[in-house]
Amino acid sequence: MKTKRVLTPEQIAKRDARRATFRKLVELFKSLSDDQRKDLSASMIVNPEGHAMSPCNTVLVNMQRPGCSIIAGYRQWRKFGRQVIKGERGISIWIPTNAPKGEDEPEPETIRFSSTSVFDISQTQENAVAAN
């Protein structure tokens, strides 16, 4: 059984700062005009399997790290034989999550979103262990 990792006050402060920055980016995204959104999402960003990102996540990625082309999470890069370079900072995007239905709730599950970190292929290198 896994034990939940306890964060230090410094780690909590850094996490909260990252979340606040991401929320500001989302608010900025909401304030963009349709033309501005179209300009920011003009370059297609895909995952290693070739699936295109949503327009919202494309804009969020371009606002945080312009020039990205292929993005994936840390574990996903490992699966594809690549390793995130030490010291690289993640790019925050929205991912859908199913909200669990409570016992007293007759409504079907709703989709909620949470943030996660992904990395561009330029932030990775070939994993020497996987290459052998």
81-100 pLDDT, tens digit per residue, is 999 999 999 999 988 887 66
Total domains, the chain: 1
Distance between CA atoms of residues 65 and 40, nearest Å: 12
- State both tokens at 27: 């608010």
Q: CB within 8 A of 65, min separation 6: which ones?
A: 91, 120
132 pLDDT more than 60: no
Whether 1 is covered by a domain: the verdict is no
Segments forming the whole domain that contains residue 43: 9-131
3-class secondary structure, 102: coil
What are 1-48's pLDDT values in tens digits? Answer: 677 788 899 999 988 988 888 888 888 888 888 888 777 667 779 999
Whether 3 is covered by a domain: the verdict is no
Whether 57 is covered by a domain: the verdict is yes
Whether 4 is covered by a domain: the verdict is no
